[in-house]
Protein backbone atom coordinates (compact mmCIF):
# COMPACT_ATOMS: atom_id res chain seq x y z
CA UNK A 1 0.00 0.00 0.00
CA UNK A 2 1.21 3.50 -0.83
CA UNK A 3 -0.20 6.81 0.38
CA UNK A 4 -0.27 9.41 -2.39
CA UNK A 5 -1.20 13.08 -2.14
CA UNK A 6 -3.97 13.91 -4.62
CA UNK A 7 -4.55 17.64 -4.71
CA UNK A 8 -3.84 18.02 -1.01
CA UNK A 9 -5.80 14.91 0.01
CA UNK A 10 -3.96 11.72 0.89
CA UNK A 11 -5.30 8.49 -0.61
CA UNK A 12 -4.31 4.84 -0.59
CA UNK A 13 -3.21 3.28 -3.87
CA UNK A 14 -1.98 -0.20 -4.74
CA UNK A 15 0.56 -0.74 -7.51
CA UNK A 16 2.42 -3.79 -8.72
CA UNK A 17 5.29 -2.66 -6.50
CA UNK A 18 3.18 -3.17 -3.37
CA UNK A 19 1.26 -6.16 -4.77
CA UNK A 20 3.33 -7.91 -7.40
CA UNK A 21 2.05 -10.05 -10.24
CA UNK A 22 3.96 -12.95 -8.68
CA UNK A 23 1.99 -12.44 -5.46
CA UNK A 24 -1.25 -12.24 -7.45
CA UNK A 25 -0.45 -15.54 -9.14
CA UNK A 26 0.23 -17.11 -5.76
CA UNK A 27 -3.07 -15.86 -4.33
CA UNK A 28 -4.99 -17.13 -7.37
CA UNK A 29 -3.07 -20.35 -8.02
CA UNK A 30 -5.92 -22.59 -6.79
CA UNK A 31 -8.71 -20.46 -8.24
CA UNK A 32 -10.70 -20.93 -11.43
CA UNK A 33 -11.80 -17.53 -12.70
CA UNK A 34 -15.05 -17.77 -14.64
CA UNK A 35 -15.73 -14.77 -16.87
CA UNK A 36 -19.49 -14.52 -17.42
CA UNK A 37 -20.13 -12.40 -20.48
CA UNK A 38 -17.82 -11.79 -23.41
CA UNK A 39 -19.14 -8.48 -24.65
CA UNK A 40 -17.56 -5.25 -23.35
CA UNK A 41 -15.38 -5.93 -20.30
CA UNK A 42 -15.19 -9.71 -20.64
CA UNK A 43 -12.65 -10.09 -23.47
CA UNK A 44 -10.07 -7.68 -22.12
CA UNK A 45 -10.14 -9.01 -18.58
CA UNK A 46 -10.23 -12.66 -19.69
CA UNK A 47 -7.33 -12.34 -22.11
CA UNK A 48 -5.20 -10.32 -19.69
CA UNK A 49 -5.77 -12.84 -16.91
CA UNK A 50 -4.94 -15.71 -19.25
CA UNK A 51 -1.79 -13.99 -20.50
CA UNK A 52 -0.75 -13.45 -16.87
CA UNK A 53 -0.98 -17.16 -16.15
CA UNK A 54 -4.31 -17.26 -14.31
CA UNK A 55 -6.67 -20.22 -14.84
CA UNK A 56 -9.53 -18.64 -16.81
CA UNK A 57 -12.72 -20.02 -18.31
CA UNK A 58 -15.46 -18.14 -20.13
CA UNK A 59 -19.22 -18.47 -19.77
CA UNK A 60 -21.29 -17.24 -22.70
CA UNK A 61 -24.52 -18.04 -24.47
CA UNK A 62 -23.98 -20.60 -27.23
CA UNK A 63 -24.72 -19.72 -30.86
CA UNK A 64 -23.99 -16.02 -30.35
CA UNK A 65 -21.48 -13.62 -31.90
CA UNK A 66 -19.74 -13.30 -28.55
CA UNK A 67 -19.43 -17.09 -28.27
CA UNK A 68 -17.76 -17.07 -31.69
CA UNK A 69 -15.50 -14.22 -30.58
CA UNK A 70 -14.41 -16.22 -27.53
CA UNK A 71 -13.60 -19.17 -29.80
CA UNK A 72 -11.63 -16.87 -32.11
CA UNK A 73 -9.69 -15.64 -29.06
CA UNK A 74 -8.61 -19.18 -28.25
CA UNK A 75 -11.18 -20.37 -25.70
CA UNK A 76 -12.13 -23.97 -26.43
CA UNK A 77 -15.74 -25.19 -26.12
CA UNK A 78 -16.01 -27.86 -23.44
CA UNK A 79 -12.56 -27.03 -22.06
CA UNK A 80 -12.32 -23.30 -21.36
CA UNK A 81 -15.61 -22.10 -22.88
CA UNK A 82 -19.00 -23.11 -21.48
CA UNK A 83 -22.57 -21.93 -21.12
CA UNK A 84 -23.16 -19.30 -18.45
CA UNK A 85 -24.44 -21.63 -15.74
CA UNK A 86 -21.83 -24.34 -16.27
CA UNK A 87 -19.02 -21.82 -16.12
CA UNK A 88 -20.48 -20.30 -12.95
CA UNK A 89 -20.59 -23.72 -11.30
CA UNK A 90 -16.98 -24.44 -12.27
CA UNK A 91 -15.60 -21.07 -11.16
CA UNK A 92 -14.32 -20.25 -7.68
CA UNK A 93 -14.20 -16.61 -8.75
CA UNK A 94 -17.28 -15.70 -10.77
CA UNK A 95 -16.73 -12.46 -12.67
CA UNK A 96 -20.24 -11.24 -13.45
CA UNK A 97 -19.47 -9.12 -16.52
CA UNK A 98 -22.76 -9.28 -18.39
CA UNK A 99 -24.49 -5.97 -19.06
CA UNK A 100 -26.45 -4.57 -16.13
CA UNK A 101 -29.72 -5.65 -17.75
CA UNK A 102 -28.16 -9.03 -18.56
CA UNK A 103 -27.19 -9.49 -14.93
CA UNK A 104 -30.77 -8.88 -13.85
CA UNK A 105 -32.10 -11.37 -16.40
CA UNK A 106 -29.67 -14.17 -15.50
CA UNK A 107 -29.21 -13.68 -11.75
CA UNK A 108 -31.84 -16.23 -10.62
CA UNK A 109 -29.92 -18.95 -12.48
CA UNK A 110 -26.40 -17.74 -11.64
CA UNK A 111 -27.21 -17.43 -7.93
CA UNK A 112 -27.98 -21.16 -7.80
CA UNK A 113 -24.54 -21.95 -9.23
CA UNK A 114 -22.51 -20.23 -6.51
CA UNK A 115 -20.73 -22.42 -3.99
CA UNK A 116 -19.77 -21.54 -0.44
CA UNK A 117 -16.51 -19.58 -0.40
CA UNK A 118 -16.73 -18.44 -4.02
CA UNK A 119 -15.96 -14.84 -4.88
CA UNK A 120 -18.68 -12.99 -6.79
CA UNK A 121 -16.85 -10.27 -8.73
CA UNK A 122 -18.32 -7.17 -10.37
CA UNK A 123 -16.77 -4.40 -12.46
CA UNK A 124 -19.65 -2.03 -11.74
CA UNK A 125 -21.48 -1.20 -8.54
CA UNK A 126 -24.85 -0.95 -10.33
CA UNK A 127 -26.47 -4.29 -9.48
CA UNK A 128 -25.53 -4.33 -5.79
CA UNK A 129 -26.15 -0.66 -5.05
CA UNK A 130 -29.54 -0.59 -6.73
CA UNK A 131 -30.64 -4.02 -5.48
CA UNK A 132 -34.18 -2.73 -4.96
CA UNK A 133 -34.41 -2.46 -8.76
CA UNK A 134 -32.21 -5.38 -9.77
CA UNK A 135 -33.13 -7.91 -7.04
CA UNK A 136 -29.48 -9.02 -7.03
CA UNK A 137 -28.79 -9.95 -3.42
CA UNK A 138 -25.81 -12.32 -3.08
CA UNK A 139 -25.92 -15.22 -0.61
CA UNK A 140 -24.11 -14.63 2.68
CA UNK A 141 -21.57 -17.43 2.18
CA UNK A 142 -19.59 -15.84 -0.70
CA UNK A 143 -17.19 -12.93 -1.01
CA UNK A 144 -18.64 -9.97 -2.94
CA UNK A 145 -15.92 -7.86 -4.54
CA UNK A 146 -15.36 -5.27 -7.24
CA UNK A 147 -12.58 -4.23 -9.60
CA UNK A 148 -13.73 -1.47 -11.94
CA UNK A 149 -11.31 -0.45 -14.73
CA UNK A 150 -11.57 3.25 -15.50
CA UNK A 151 -11.95 2.72 -19.21
CA UNK A 152 -13.59 0.63 -21.87
CA UNK A 153 -12.99 -3.09 -22.13
CA UNK A 154 -11.12 -2.48 -25.36
CA UNK A 155 -8.73 -0.13 -23.55
CA UNK A 156 -8.22 -2.68 -20.77
CA UNK A 157 -6.73 -4.94 -23.43
CA UNK A 158 -4.84 -2.41 -25.57
CA UNK A 159 -3.24 -0.71 -22.55
CA UNK A 160 -2.19 -4.12 -21.23
CA UNK A 161 -0.58 -5.00 -24.55
CA UNK A 162 1.36 -1.72 -24.72
CA UNK A 163 2.49 -2.12 -21.12
CA UNK A 164 0.75 0.92 -19.63
CA UNK A 165 -2.21 -0.72 -17.88
CA UNK A 166 -5.42 1.06 -16.94
CA UNK A 167 -6.28 2.39 -13.49
CA UNK A 168 -9.03 0.58 -11.57
CA UNK A 169 -11.01 1.11 -8.40
CA UNK A 170 -11.62 -1.78 -6.00
CA UNK A 171 -14.05 -2.56 -3.21
CA UNK A 172 -15.08 -5.35 -0.87
CA UNK A 173 -18.80 -5.49 -0.13
CA UNK A 174 -18.83 -8.82 1.72
CA UNK A 175 -15.89 -10.75 3.19
CA UNK A 176 -17.07 -14.28 3.96
CA UNK A 177 -13.73 -16.05 3.58
CA UNK A 178 -11.50 -13.50 5.28
CA UNK A 179 -9.55 -13.40 1.99
CA UNK A 180 -11.79 -11.04 0.04
CA UNK A 181 -9.41 -8.05 -0.05
CA UNK A 182 -6.43 -10.23 -1.02
CA UNK A 183 -8.45 -11.87 -3.79
CA UNK A 184 -9.64 -8.49 -5.03
CA UNK A 185 -6.16 -6.97 -5.21
CA UNK A 186 -4.77 -10.10 -6.89
CA UNK A 187 -7.48 -9.94 -9.56
CA UNK A 188 -6.98 -6.20 -10.03
CA UNK A 189 -3.26 -6.65 -10.63
CA UNK A 190 -3.80 -9.72 -12.82
CA UNK A 191 -6.23 -7.94 -15.18
CA UNK A 192 -3.45 -5.41 -15.79
CA UNK A 193 -4.42 -2.40 -13.67
CA UNK A 194 -1.93 0.47 -13.73
CA UNK A 195 -2.82 1.09 -10.11
CA UNK A 196 -5.78 0.34 -7.85
CA UNK A 197 -7.58 2.79 -5.58
CA UNK A 198 -10.25 2.00 -2.98
CA UNK A 199 -13.92 2.84 -3.36
CA UNK A 200 -17.29 1.39 -2.39
CA UNK A 201 -19.89 -0.21 -4.64
CA UNK A 202 -22.08 2.85 -4.09
CA UNK A 203 -19.39 5.43 -4.83
CA UNK A 204 -18.25 3.51 -7.90
CA UNK A 205 -21.64 3.49 -9.56
CA UNK A 206 -22.47 7.07 -8.56
CA UNK A 207 -19.21 8.39 -10.05
CA UNK A 208 -19.31 6.07 -13.06
CA UNK A 209 -22.83 6.92 -14.17
CA UNK A 210 -22.15 10.62 -13.66
CA UNK A 211 -18.92 10.42 -15.66
CA UNK A 212 -20.43 8.48 -18.56
CA UNK A 213 -23.34 10.86 -18.89
CA UNK A 214 -21.10 13.85 -18.23
CA UNK A 215 -17.57 14.69 -19.32
CA UNK A 216 -16.59 11.26 -20.65
CA UNK A 217 -19.36 10.74 -23.18
CA UNK A 218 -22.68 12.59 -22.99
CA UNK A 219 -21.40 16.09 -22.24
CA UNK A 220 -18.47 15.68 -24.62
CA UNK A 221 -20.74 14.61 -27.48
CA UNK A 222 -23.21 17.41 -26.79
CA UNK A 223 -20.58 20.16 -26.50
CA UNK A 224 -18.84 19.00 -29.67
CA UNK A 225 -22.11 19.08 -31.57
CA UNK A 226 -22.96 22.55 -30.27
CA UNK A 227 -19.60 24.03 -31.34
CA UNK A 228 -19.63 22.28 -34.72
CA UNK A 229 -23.15 23.52 -35.47
CA UNK A 230 -22.25 27.07 -34.42
CA UNK A 231 -19.28 27.13 -36.77
CA UNK A 232 -21.32 25.68 -39.64
CA UNK A 233 -24.11 28.19 -39.03
CA UNK A 234 -21.60 30.98 -39.54
CA UNK A 235 -20.31 29.64 -42.85
CA UNK A 236 -17.33 27.52 -41.88
CA UNK A 237 -16.77 24.41 -43.97
CA UNK A 238 -17.38 20.91 -42.53
CA UNK A 239 -13.64 20.21 -42.63
CA UNK A 240 -12.78 23.39 -40.77
CA UNK A 241 -15.57 22.96 -38.21
CA UNK A 242 -14.61 19.33 -37.51
CA UNK A 243 -10.89 20.02 -37.25
CA UNK A 244 -11.44 22.90 -34.82
CA UNK A 245 -13.94 20.88 -32.76
CA UNK A 246 -12.70 17.30 -32.69
CA UNK A 247 -9.49 16.60 -34.59
CA UNK A 248 -7.33 19.16 -32.81
CA UNK A 249 -8.68 18.00 -29.45
CA UNK A 250 -8.15 14.27 -29.99
CA UNK A 251 -4.95 14.39 -32.02
CA UNK A 252 -3.12 17.18 -30.19
CA UNK A 253 -4.46 18.93 -27.13
CA UNK A 254 -5.85 16.01 -25.11
CA UNK A 255 -2.47 14.31 -25.47
CA UNK A 256 -0.84 17.32 -23.81
CA UNK A 257 -3.39 17.14 -20.99
CA UNK A 258 -2.68 13.43 -20.55
CA UNK A 259 1.05 14.09 -20.49
CA UNK A 260 1.24 16.78 -17.81
CA UNK A 261 -2.17 18.29 -17.03
CA UNK A 262 -4.43 21.11 -18.16
CA UNK A 263 -2.10 23.90 -17.05
CA UNK A 264 0.72 22.37 -19.10
CA UNK A 265 -1.51 22.12 -22.15
CA UNK A 266 -2.45 25.80 -21.71
CA UNK A 267 1.22 26.75 -21.37
CA UNK A 268 2.05 25.01 -24.65
CA UNK A 269 -0.54 26.91 -26.67
CA UNK A 270 -0.44 30.42 -28.11
CA UNK A 271 -0.93 33.39 -25.81
CA UNK A 272 -4.18 34.14 -27.64
CA UNK A 273 -5.47 30.61 -26.97
CA UNK A 274 -4.33 30.82 -23.33
CA UNK A 275 -6.19 34.07 -22.73
CA UNK A 276 -9.37 32.84 -24.34
CA UNK A 277 -9.33 29.51 -22.51
CA UNK A 278 -8.68 31.12 -19.12
CA UNK A 279 -11.48 33.64 -19.67
CA UNK A 280 -14.07 31.20 -20.98
CA UNK A 281 -13.45 28.12 -18.83
CA UNK A 282 -15.24 29.60 -15.78
CA UNK A 283 -18.19 30.58 -17.97
CA UNK A 284 -18.61 27.01 -19.22
CA UNK A 285 -18.10 25.63 -15.70
CA UNK A 286 -20.82 27.86 -14.25
CA UNK A 287 -23.17 27.18 -17.16
CA UNK A 288 -23.03 23.39 -16.84
CA UNK A 289 -22.79 23.08 -13.04
CA UNK A 290 -26.60 23.04 -12.62
CA UNK A 291 -26.78 20.21 -15.18
CA UNK A 292 -24.20 18.19 -13.25
CA UNK A 293 -26.11 18.75 -10.01
CA UNK A 294 -29.28 17.49 -11.72
CA UNK A 295 -27.40 14.55 -13.23
CA UNK A 296 -25.85 13.47 -9.93
CA UNK A 297 -29.22 13.68 -8.16
CA UNK A 298 -30.80 11.50 -10.86
CA UNK A 299 -28.01 8.95 -10.49
CA UNK A 300 -28.22 8.72 -6.70
CA UNK A 301 -32.02 8.59 -6.66
CA UNK A 302 -32.11 5.67 -9.12
CA UNK A 303 -33.79 7.58 -11.95
CA UNK A 304 -30.92 6.78 -14.32
CA UNK A 305 -30.71 3.10 -13.40
CA UNK A 306 -34.46 2.68 -13.78
CA UNK A 307 -34.26 4.10 -17.30
CA UNK A 308 -31.28 1.88 -18.16
CA UNK A 309 -33.02 -1.30 -17.01
CA UNK A 310 -36.28 -0.44 -18.75
CA UNK A 311 -34.65 0.54 -22.05
CA UNK A 312 -32.04 -2.19 -22.18
CA UNK A 313 -34.46 -4.97 -21.23
CA UNK A 314 -36.86 -4.21 -24.09
CA UNK A 315 -37.00 -6.95 -26.74
CA UNK A 316 -36.25 -4.42 -29.51
CA UNK A 317 -33.45 -2.71 -27.56
CA UNK A 318 -30.66 -3.46 -30.03
CA UNK A 319 -32.70 -2.33 -33.03
CA UNK A 320 -33.61 0.98 -31.36
CA UNK A 321 -30.01 1.48 -30.21
CA UNK A 322 -28.72 0.99 -33.74
CA UNK A 323 -31.14 3.62 -35.01
CA UNK A 324 -29.80 6.12 -32.46
CA UNK A 325 -26.18 5.27 -33.24
CA UNK A 326 -26.82 5.54 -36.97
CA UNK A 327 -28.24 9.05 -36.47
CA UNK A 328 -24.90 10.06 -34.99
CA UNK A 329 -22.83 8.20 -37.58
CA UNK A 330 -24.80 9.69 -40.48
CA UNK A 331 -24.85 13.26 -39.20
CA UNK A 332 -22.82 15.76 -41.21
CA UNK A 333 -20.39 16.23 -38.31
CA UNK A 334 -19.38 12.59 -38.06
CA UNK A 335 -19.43 12.02 -41.81
CA UNK A 336 -16.96 14.89 -41.95
CA UNK A 337 -15.04 13.07 -39.22
CA UNK A 338 -14.83 9.91 -41.30
CA UNK A 339 -13.41 11.91 -44.19
CA UNK A 340 -10.88 13.66 -41.94
CA UNK A 341 -9.73 10.37 -40.39
CA UNK A 342 -9.27 8.85 -43.85
CA UNK A 343 -6.88 11.71 -44.67
CA UNK A 344 -4.57 11.00 -41.71
CA UNK A 345 -1.19 9.86 -43.06
CA UNK A 346 -1.44 6.43 -41.46
CA UNK A 347 -4.77 5.82 -43.23
CA UNK A 348 -3.78 6.94 -46.72
The percent of residues in the chain predicted with pLDDT above 70, rounded, is 100
Asked if 147 and 23 sit in the same domain, the reply is yes
Catalytic-labelled residue, pool 124, 206, 234, 236: 124
Buried b (16+ CB within 10 A) or exposed e, 111-136: bebbeeebbbbbbbbbbbbbeebbeb
Asked if 233 and 170 sit in the same domain, the reply is no
Asked if 146 and 20 sit in the same domain, the reply is yes
Task: Say whether 124 is catalytic.
Answer: yes
Q: The domain that contains 125 carries what CATH number?
A: 3.40.50.720
Choose one of 173, 199, 225: the last residue of a domain.
Answer: 199
Give the Cα separation of 233 and 240 in Å (integer).
12
124 found inside a domain: yes
Asked if 179 and 285 sit in the same domain, the reply is no
- pLDDT per residue over 296-319, tens digit each? 999 999 999 999 999 988 999 999
pLDDT on residue 8: 84
Give every CB contact of residue 20 below 8 A, 6+ residues apart in sequence.
189
Mean pLDDT, the chain, rounded, equals 95
Asked if 36 and 141 sit in the same domain, the reply is yes
pLDDT on residue 27: 97
The mean-pLDDT minimum among 63-67, 233-237, 277-281, 302-306 falls in 63-67
Choose one of 174, 199, 224: the last residue of a domain.
Answer: 199
302 found inside a domain: yes
Tell me which residue range forms the domain holding 119: 2-199
Q: Which residue has the higher pLDDT, 31 or 2?
A: 31
What's the total number of domains in the chain?
A: 2
Asked if 184 and 46 sit in the same domain, the reply is yes
Asked if 242 and 183 sit in the same domain, the reply is no
- pLDDT per residue over 85-132, tens digit each? 999 999 999 999 999 999 999 999 999 999 999 999 999 999 999 999
Q: The domain that contains 233 carries what CATH number?
A: 1.10.1040.10
Amino acid sequence: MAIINFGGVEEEVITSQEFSLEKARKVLENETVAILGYGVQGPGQALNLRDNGINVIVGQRDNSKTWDKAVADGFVPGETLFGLEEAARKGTVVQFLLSDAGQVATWPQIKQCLNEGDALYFSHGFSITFKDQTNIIPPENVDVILVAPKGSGRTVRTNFLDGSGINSSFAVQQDFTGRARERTLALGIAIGSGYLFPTTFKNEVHSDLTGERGVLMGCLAGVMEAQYNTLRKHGHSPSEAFNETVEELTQSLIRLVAENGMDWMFSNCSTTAQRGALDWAPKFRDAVLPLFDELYENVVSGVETKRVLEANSAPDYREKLQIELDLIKNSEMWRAGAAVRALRPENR
